[in-house]
Amino acid sequence: MNRDWIATARTLSQALPYLQRYDGATVVIKIGGHAMGSDEAMESFARDVVLMQQVGVNPVIIHGGGPMINAMLGKLGIESDFVHGKRVTDAATMEVVEMVLSGTVNSRIVQAINAQGGRAIGLSGKDANLMICDYADRELGFVGTPAEINPEFLRNLAEAGIIPVIAPIGVGREGETFNINGDTAAGAIAAALKADRLLLLTDVAGVKGPDGEVLTELNAAQIRELTAEGIIAGGMIPKTETALRALEGGVRAVVILDGRAPNACLLELYTEHGAGSLIRG
């Protein structure tokens, strides 16, 4: 008998406790622009999402798209202003952000999931008032902070067997369109759903300790300590802050992991070792 088949059967058998553990669980997955990578990587991600749903998970996908937005702004010759290192989203930039996120990026993910036999639907936070926002900082223009989430809409989709793929675009109280940080949007949605897991797929292996090794498990106190010591720094700070807010909002655990690694979501959910850095309260 083929050894690969035997190994596959053994792997499935070992996964049984984890399949049972996540049956009926809501898992929110944030996939960043860098983690989307090639068509092959997108196909692999989509297959993992469909498999997760097939074995009883309710997946909710939120995506970013920073590199794609930057590329389109460059093509159109739209220059950005920055305040404290953050892009100012004026009306012209907001049009491009919405076009890229709700159009190009969102439809690519939806198409990939549907091609693997799933039933995905593309949304933004403007649909069904999914994410009502306040201004994050008036100096930054149309950058929003989620103030109200409509989780019932997403629960209805899950009951119908539909996988929501959400662009981080929100609506203001006076009809404005807002750009939302993808991690922030994912954390707010995960908290509103009281998700079992929030998976933040990024382009690093996880949260690293003083020796540069990935920390496989952390709690809130350790994150605050590592941040105060400057070990958690740069782009990892907003991700760990998102994780802490999500935990405070009722998410059971958050995982920061490398979305470029093959089958990263399956490794995290269905193996003893897991993947990336698991953060609990």
Q: Is 86 a catalytic residue?
A: no
Whether residue 141 lies in the annotated active site = no
What is the value of pTM for the model shown?
0.92
Q: Quick one: pLDDT at residue 212? A: 87
Q: Which of 30, 127, 182, 187 is catalytic?
A: 30
Predicted local confidence at residue 215, as pLDDT: 92
| 60 CB-near residues (< 8 Å, 6+ apart) | 26, 27, 28, 29, 154, 158, 163, 164, 166, 189, 190, 193, 195
Residue 194 annotated among the catalytic residues of the structure: no
Q: For this structure, is 161 an active site residue?
A: no
pLDDT per position in the chain (281 positions), as tens?
A: 567 777 778 777 887 888 888 889 999 999 987 767 688 889 999 999 999 999 999 999 999 988 899 999 999 999 888 887 778 999 999 999 999 999 999 999 999 999 999 999 999 999 999 999 999 999 999 999 999 999 999 999 999 999 999 999 999 999 999 999 999 999 999 999 999 999 999 888 899 988 889 999 999 999 999 999 999 988 899 899 999 999 999 999 999 998 888 889 998 898 887 788 999 97
Residue type at 244 in one-letter notation: L
Cβ contact 120:110 at 8 Å: yes
The pLDDT, as a whole number, for residue 95 is 95
Catalytic residue among 32, 33, 182, 259: 33
* Active-site position among 239, 249, 259, 276: 239
In this structure, which CATH number among 3.40.50.12780, 3.40.50.300, 3.40.190.150, 3.40.1160.10 belongs to the domain 23-280? 3.40.1160.10
CA atoms within 13 A on the CB side of 183: 19
Note the pLDDT of residue 259: 86
pLDDT on residue 280: 92
> In this predicted structure, what is the pLDDT of residue 199?
97
Partners of 8 in beta bridges: none
| pLDDT value of position 164 | 98
Q: Which two tokens stand for residue 173?
A: 């109280």
pLDDT of residue 197: 96
In the residue annotation, 33 being an active-site residue is answered as yes
Determine the pLDDT at residue 233.
Answer: 87
Query: Choosing from 122, 125, 127, 183, which is the catalytic residue?
Result: 183
Catalytic residue, chosen from 66, 172, 209, 281, is: 66
